[in-house]
Each structure stands twice: as structure tokens, then as C-alpha cells.
């Protein structure tokens, strides 16, 4: 079973810091970790114009693999739709990847309503937090990001407020509990 944990919040709220910390902690403990970053900028490509892989895509290839001694990159040209998130997660969940946890940054609109995705909500302040929490369904396990650095309270709306990296071990433990719950439910 692969646990999917989404870190959701507005730009500049601390999503990347939280995911970077969690990936580092779980990897150091021997977990196999995947990460997904949703880039919502139209026209973004990790492929550099003029490079061979870019030229293959321009010529019409829908899937391009670039292989080096240390890395494999597979570039799939798609028409972006709601199903692309499920396809990416499905691909990462396959047994050959051997992942225990997948951390997702972004895809707020898609993950907000999903009960099969554990959420950590990050925000700059309580006003932004209220906006971000609007429409998000459980499970939400914690609040973090800049709000945690500036808050003197341990809970907001019943959710633990965890400052990363200072209190990051608490967040790691909450995620480990989700791994146990998932294994117990057989999902």
C-alpha cells in the first residue's frame, strides 16, 4: 500500500519546505519516497528547447525517455485533464516503483475533496488558512507552514499546528500513524 500525502496551500506558504523536510526524514528512516509537484504554469516543460528530447517531442513523440548512468527521465506529452493526476499517482503506486509514501505539492482542487489523500494544510496566516480549509475534506492531519512559525497556539480548529523543522518529528509521527491505519484497512 502506498500512502498519498498532499501538502496544500497558496504560493509562498511553506509547502516546499514541509515536503523537503518530510522527504528527507522518511528517506533517512529507510522509507521509499516519491514526490509529485504540480506546475500550473501553462507551457512549462522540463525539456530544454533545442535538446534532442525536445526535438523528438516536436516531431510528434508522445513519450520520450532520457537515460543516463544515474537517472531515467520519462517525458509524456499529454492533454491536461483531471485524470492526469490519477494516472501519475497510479504509475507511482505500481509495485515496480516500490514506494511507501508519495508526497504531493499542489493539485489543491483535485485533492481537497478526496478521502483517499491525507492532507497537511499550510498557510501564511489565519485568514488565508480559513480560505484554504474551505472545501477540504478529511483526512487533514495537521497545519504547518508560515502560520506555524507565527502562532503561539498548538491547535487551530482542532488541528495540530506544527512548525517544520523545529517540531517536524511530530508531523513525521502523524504520517506514520496514517501508514498504520492504511495498512490496517487494506487500502
d(CA 170, CA 1): 22
DSSP summary character for residue 139: P
Which pLDDT tens digit goes with each residue over 51-70?
A: 787 788 788 787 888 888 88
The answer to whether residue 122 sits within a structural domain is yes
Instruction: Give residue 112's domain range.
Output: 3-42+79-185
Which pLDDT tens digit goes with each residue over 76-135?
A: 776 655 567 777 788 788 866 789 999 999 888 889 999 999 999 999 999 999 999 998
Number of domains, the chain: 1
CA Rg value for the chain: 18
Residue whose cell numbers read 526535438: 55
Which pLDDT tens digit goes with each residue over 16-45?
A: 999 999 999 999 999 999 998 866 545 555
The answer to whether residue 154 sits within a structural domain is yes
The answer to whether residue 55 sits within a structural domain is no
Break the chain down into helix, strand, coil percent, rounded to 5. 35, 20, 40
The answer to whether residue 162 sits within a structural domain is yes
Q: Determine the number of helices (DSSP H) and then strands (DSSP E) in the chain.
A: 7, 9
Reduce the DSSP state of residue 153 to 3 states and report it.
coil
Strand ranges of the sheet holding 3-8, from the earlier edge strand across to the other edge = 33-37, 101-105, 3-8, 118-122, 140-144
Please report, for the domain that includes residue 154, its CATH number.
3.40.50.300
pTM assigned to the model: 0.83
The answer to whether residue 73 sits within a structural domain is no
Amino acid at each position: 500500500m502506498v500512502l498519498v500525502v498532499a501538502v496544500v496551500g497558496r504560493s509562498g506558504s511553506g509547502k516546499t519546505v514541509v515536503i523537503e523536510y518530510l522527504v528527507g526524514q522518511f528517506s533517512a528512516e529507510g522509507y521509499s519516497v516519491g514526490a509529485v509537484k504540480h506546475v500550473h504554469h501553462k507551457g512549462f516543460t522540463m525539456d530544454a528547447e533545442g535538446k534532442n528530447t525536445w526535438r523528438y517531442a516536436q516531431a510528434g513523440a508522445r513519450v520520450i525517455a532520457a537515460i543516463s548512468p544515474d537517472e531515467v527521465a520519462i517525458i509524456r506529452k499529454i492533454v491536461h485533464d483531471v485524470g492526469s493526476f490519477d494516472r501519475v499517482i497510479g504509475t507511482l503506486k505500481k509495485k515496480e516503483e516500490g514506494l511507501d509514501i508519495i508526497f504531493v505539492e499542489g493539485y489543491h482542487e483535485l485533492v481537497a475533496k478526496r478521502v483517499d489523500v491525507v492532507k497537511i494544510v499550510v498557510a501564511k496566516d489565519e485568514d488565508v488558512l480559513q480560505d484554504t480549509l474551505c472545501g477540504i475534506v478529511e483526512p487533514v492531519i495537521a497545519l504547518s507552514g508560515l502560520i506555524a512559525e507565527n502562532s503561539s497556539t498548538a491547535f487551530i480548529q482542532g488541528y495540530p499546528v506544527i512548525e517544520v523543522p523545529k517540531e517536524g518529528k511530530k508531523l513525521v509521527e502523524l504520517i506514520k500513524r496514517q501508514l498504520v491505519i492504511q495498512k490496517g484497512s487494506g487500502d
